[in-house]
Amino acid sequence: MDAKLINGKQVAKDIKAELKQKVAMLREKGITPGLAAVLIGDDPASATYVKSKARACEKIGMFSEVIRRPADTSQEEVETIVRELNGRDDIDGILVQSPLPKHLNEFAVTLLIDPNKDVDGFHPHSVGLLLMGKPSFRSCTPYGIIELMRRYDINPSGKEVVVLGRSNIVGKPMAALLMQKSDMANATVTIAHSRTADIAGVCRRADILIAAIGQPLFVKGDMVKEGAVIIDVGINRIDDSSTEKGYRLVGDVDFDECVKKASYITPVPGGVGPMTIAMLLTNTVQSAERRGRIK
């Protein structure tokens, strides 16, 4: 049995088309959703990601602004930028692209972002509301995974879900979303990580396995239960002399082995990755809709 592929690229495209209609309606009311990205330094991956976000905004009619500063920018200057964005009526979402240069205090910068504009879902205010099951901005990658499952009719209610990884960006908020008493939740959740004893045995219990451990091809076929749903969050470069670039992208899951046992599986690339930007745009449009109601 080969698994059905979960096409995140297509789902993200569908979501953007839906958002484009919402943005058009908001603009008719004089409100243009605005997203500001702060990019400190010249990290190529960060620059590419921010460029993709800006392009995605423009395609659906949103306003996008990228604020670039050199790697030696001071903590005070970064905080001044965030405070100014907090006060701007044309900005509904603020993201400070991670990672920041090592001399900067990233957590202090996150704390300064207005929770009403925290479209990354990283502020403690958003995280606290998420844990309490209250409406908040949800971290974009976990939010995207929930939306993928929703659109493929994969309901986690009553299922045993194993989340591989305990990061603040994916693992922890993913578990928090799945354990809620709400739609597309009500799962029995286990978080597995580098200190988990018999991690393969834990993975084999999973009806739904979400891999976000940051280790290429970590999940092998013998770690997966027959018929499991596999969501691969990992994006890793591995050397491959047979390709023009000299490398290829792989996930945290050994796709070739696991596709034979899973019922559904996300590919890498083209699975979870495109959903992160789609849900960032979703959060920003929701913020703009809130501004419209206040206005």
**Which is more confidently placed, 237 or 6?**
6
166-216 tens-digit pLDDT: 999 999 999 999 999 999 999 999 999 999 999 999 999 999 999 999 999
Distances (CA, A) of 140 to 93, 97, 115, 177, 284: 13, 13, 15, 12, 11
Tell me the average pLDDT across 4-15: 97
In this prediction the pTM is: 0.95
Q: What average pLDDT does range 125-153 have in this prediction?
A: 96
Catalytic (active site) residue 53: yes
Residue 29: pLDDT over 90 = yes
| pLDDT tens digits for range 252-282 | 999 999 999 999 999 999 999 999 999 999 9
The tokens of 231 are what? 């969501």
In the set 92, 120, 252, 254, the catalytic residue is 120
* Residue 295 pLDDT: 52
Does residue 240 register a pLDDT over 90?
no
Q: Supply the pLDDT for residue 44.
A: 85
Catalytic residue among 16, 92, 97, 207: 97
CA nearest 79: which of 101, 61, 58, 104? 104
Contact 86, 58 (CB under 8 A): no
Q: Does 155 score more than 70 pLDDT?
A: yes
Question: Catalytic annotation on 97?
Answer: yes
Task: Considering only residues 238 and 206, tell me which one the structure prediction assigns the higher pLDDT.
Answer: 206
pLDDT tens-digit series, residues 31-52: 999 999 999 998 888 888 899 9
Domains by residue range for the chain, with CATH: 30-114 (3.40.50.10860), 140-273 (3.40.50.720)
Range with the lowest mean pLDDT among 9-18, 28-37, 231-240?
A: 231-240
Query: What is the pLDDT confidence band of residue 1, given thresholds at 50, 70 and 90?
Result: low
Per residue in 75-132, pLDDT (tens digit) is 999 999 999 999 999 999 999 999 999 999 999 999 999 999 999 999 999 999 999 9
Token pair 């990755």: residue: 273
The pLDDT of residue 294: 56
* Whether pLDDT at 293 is above 80: no
Task: Output the pLDDT for position 246.
Answer: 87
Catalytic, out of 53, 117, 225, 261? 53
| pLDDT number for residue 211 | 98
Told to judge if 120 belongs to the known catalytic residues of this protein, a careful annotator would answer yes
- Angstrom distance (rounded) from CA 150 to CA 158: 15
